[in-house]
Amino acid sequence: MADYRNNHYVPEWYQYRFFPDCANEKKFYYLDLAPDVAINNGKRYQRKALLRWGPPRCFRERDLYTTRLGAWESTEIEQKFFGQIDSSCRTAFDYFANFEHPGANPEAFNKFLLYMSLQKMRTPKGLVELSRLINLSDKNHVLIEMQRLRQLYCALWTECIWSIADATESDTKFIISDHPVTVYNQACFPHSRWCRGHQDPDIWLSGTHTLFPLDLNKLLILTNLSWVRNPYGSPLKNRPNPQPFRHAMFNFLQIQTGRNLSEEEVNEINYVIKQRAYRYIAAQQEEWLYPEKHVRSIHWNKLGSGYLFMPDPRSVSFSTETIIGYKDGRADAFDEYGRKPWEEGYTGEQLVQKEWNTFHAFQGEFARVFGPKRRGRAFEFGKIDDVEDSADFHAYHLRLEQKFKPKNARKIRR
């Protein structure tokens, strides 16, 4: 008989993606970052922090999704709501973990995006944060609102630059946390006011990246377009048009692939995942649970020399408007931030000019730091971007940095 009261806020099927196929024993090293203090025979002791558990016992909480009214109880949220969503989106994970250009699967995208939005809300950390956002403390009401607000993050993530990074060449692989949809903002270091307790930097802050491990080797990184176009401004400024619950356009051609992570980069990413966890993390190997031992610096805004989560701007196109025509003669238009022609800021000339300059400066900066080989490649003009720029094109990018980079850029970025 199915148990709908032991609720996995990180589903078992997702956890199994973090074992190699050849693993004989599928058990994690499961680390409690804040083990309880217990009393036995009048003596206080701290419970064991490191456990050896499999997915059926990890990342679960009794009656997390059970609603109650007096003596009446309901497990329908676990049974019917999450049950349906979890079972329908597994193939979407495979699609993005193995994504190759050219490809476009709107059904997989919609299922995956909805799952990710709910995954951010359904954890103990996410539910406390949702309670704060909607200003409700009653558990039943919060769970009802979670279902109603299921698409809270979808529009803003749709307009991000998507990058799929690969840890295949690293001996260290990705860990899982009890809040697997992780956010990182270089200005919001651990224990800052944005990161205390259940709090996360808002995804609509321009400099916020969203990280989501897809399996043992693949990581999805979502970066606000405004941050790619101008990483010299404040990462705490709201991105343009931060309104949720609206239509948004997604371009499969702009997904960046082909970035192979180094061992140090994987450890830096795991360090961020660990720091943003609520209480538990898990890994297939014990050593992966302690990434802080293997990074050169734990300075929050210097991870990867400040470029760890940035897509390669040389593979990002600079578009300002999308016009759609329908068979019945109707037309619709959006700018790159989802605004309609009658809305304030639509393709604003001053903003476009400023972002044009800083975006091209950042392309040049990336070329100088990483050389002609690209760290992510999109699909443009009927083909995937070249692995390496020609000497002339590389030199062109270097000139862009000299021409457009703001004088105080280094001070702001570091």
- Give pLDDT tens digits for 261-297: 999 999 999 999 999 999 999 999 999 999 999 999 9
69 versus 31: which is more confidently predicted? 31
- pLDDT value at residue 153: 98
Closest CA to 315 of 171, 141, 163, 197: 163
Over range 133-143, report the average pLDDT. Answer: 95
Distance CA 67, CA 76 (A): 8
Confidence band of 95 (pLDDT split at 50, 70, 90): very high
Distance CA 21, CA 70 (A): 46
Closest CA to 65 of 121, 133, 2, 111: 121
Rounded to the nearest integer, the mean pLDDT of the chain is 93
Q: Is residue 42 pLDDT above 80, yes or no?
A: no
Query: pLDDT tens, 372-408?
Result: 999 999 999 899 999 999 999 999 999 999 999 887 7
Closest CA to 82 of 150, 28, 15, 154: 150
Q: Is residue 411 pLDDT above 50, yes or no?
A: no
Distance CA 244, CA 239 (A): 12
- pLDDT value at residue 1: 54
Confidence band of 350 (pLDDT split at 50, 70, 90): confident
Confidence band of 71 (pLDDT split at 50, 70, 90): confident
Q: Is residue 101 pLDDT above 90, yes or no?
A: yes
- pLDDT value at residue 233: 92
- pLDDT value at residue 24: 85
Assign 3-class secondary structure to the chain.
CCCCCEEECCCHHHHHHHCCCCCCCCCEEEEECCCCEEEECCEEEECCCEEEECHHHCCEEECCCCEEECCEEECHHHHHHHHHHHHHCHHHHHHHHCCCCCCCCHHHHHHHHHHHHHHHHHCHHHHHHHHHHHCCCCHHHHHHHHHHCCCCCHHHHHCCEEEEEECCCCCCCCCEECCCCEEEECCCCCCCCCCCCCCCCCCCECCEEEEEECCCCEEEEEECHHHHHCCCCCCCCECCCCCCCCCCCCCHHHCEEEEECCHHHHHHHHHHHHHCCCCEEEECCHHHHCHHHCCCCCCHHHHHHHCCCCCCHHHCCCCCEEEEECCCCCEEEEECCCCCCCCCCCCCHHHHHHHHHHHHHHHHHHHHHHCCECCCECEECCEECCCECCHHHHHHHHHHHHHHCCCCHHHHHC
- pLDDT value at residue 166: 98
Distance CA 99, CA 256 (A): 10
CB burial of residue 110 (10 Å; 0-12, 13-18, 19+): middle
Q: Is residue 203 pLDDT above 80, yes or no?
A: yes
Confidence band of 124 (pLDDT split at 50, 70, 90): very high
pTM across the whole model: 0.95
For residues 314 and 366, is the Cβ–Cβ distance under 8 A?
Answer: yes
60: CB partners within 8 A, 6+ apart:
6, 7, 8, 9
Query: pLDDT tens, 162-201?
Result: 999 999 999 999 999 999 999 999 999 999 999 998 999 9
11 versus 47: which is more confidently predicted? 11
Strand partners, 162: 222
Q: Is residue 359 pLDDT above 70, yes or no?
A: yes
CA dist 173 to 178, 294, 302, Å? 17, 13, 21
- pLDDT value at residue 303: 95
Q: Is residue 324 pLDDT above 90, yes or no?
A: no
For residues 69 and 140, is the Cβ–Cβ distance under 8 A?
Answer: yes
